[in-house]
Amino acid sequence: MAFIQGLFKTSVARKNIMAVTGLFTAFFLVIHLVGNLILILPDSFFPIEFWDNVASQHDMYNAYSHFLVHFWPISVVAWILYAGLAIHIIDALLITLTNWKAKGEKYVKSDNSTSTWYSRNMGILGIIIGIFIVVHMGQFWLKYKVLGTEHDLYDLVVGTFKQTWVVVFYEIGIIALGFHLAHGITSAHRSLGIHPKSIMNVIKYIGLCFAVVMAVLYGIIPLIIYFNN
């Protein structure tokens, strides 16, 4: 317990933890996206002759989900992800509280002329993403992986994205995620000590491209399912 408390003690340590857990979550997002793109690829895309019991996109998605749940190394990585996400959220709350406290104690005039609105609102974006993740995991992860009440994940996901409110809710969550990533990737590198100006400009650009690609590809999945099925 003392070790955990010690980890969060200094603001540098807190920012480093935030950076590492954030970058790990961004890596998860890439893998998660690749798996979920199966949902919108046509049957003809899959070389189904290579697999037994796989004759369509529907089978392919369920085979992929079955593999995720039953291959133990993936379960270990999933638990590291849950811990990383939880630490990222606790750390964000601690940093926000410290900042509010500092602002309350003395008058701090901040110069906003060079920062973007989304870099100044990472906390609000984080809250929207937090709500999104809780609802999202309740819809799929809880029913399929934890309670085991749903066995056909493809039908569950496609059925869920037939509801207008769900699609609107996902688009809001994913747009918030895009802005959060646009600042988060750059900020994480700066926290980890990578901040010479020449490198920072490249990282800023890569972070922005990453955020746009993630938001667009995640964002089209519910839309394509909603309008196609």
Compute CA distances 194 → 8, 16, 19, 24, 183, whole Å: 21, 12, 12, 17, 15
Q: Which residue has the tokens 């973007």?
A: 116
* Contact with ligand HEM (CB under 6 A) among 136, 158, 171, 203: 136
Alpha carbon distance 175, 169 (integer Å): 10
207 binds ligand HEM (CB under 6 A): no
From 99-107, 115-123, 141-149, 201-209, give the range in contact with ligand HEM by CB under 6 A: 141-149
In the complex, what is the shortest distance from the CB of residue 112 to ligand HEM, in angstroms, rounded to a whole number?
27
* Contact with ligand HEM (CB under 6 A) among 7, 133, 175, 200: 133
Contact predicate 87/21, CB 8 Å: yes
* Contact with ligand HEM (CB under 6 A) among 17, 68, 95, 211: 68
DSSP string, 122-134: HHHHHHHHHHHHH
From 2-10, 92-100, 129-137, 188-196, give the range in contact with ligand HEM by CB under 6 A: 129-137
Compute CA distances 67 → 57, 197, 223, whole Å: 15, 44, 26
Sites of contact with ligand HEM (CB under 6 A): 32, 36, 39, 65, 68, 78, 129, 133, 136-137, 140-141, 144-145, 153, 157, 170, 174, 177, 218, 221-222
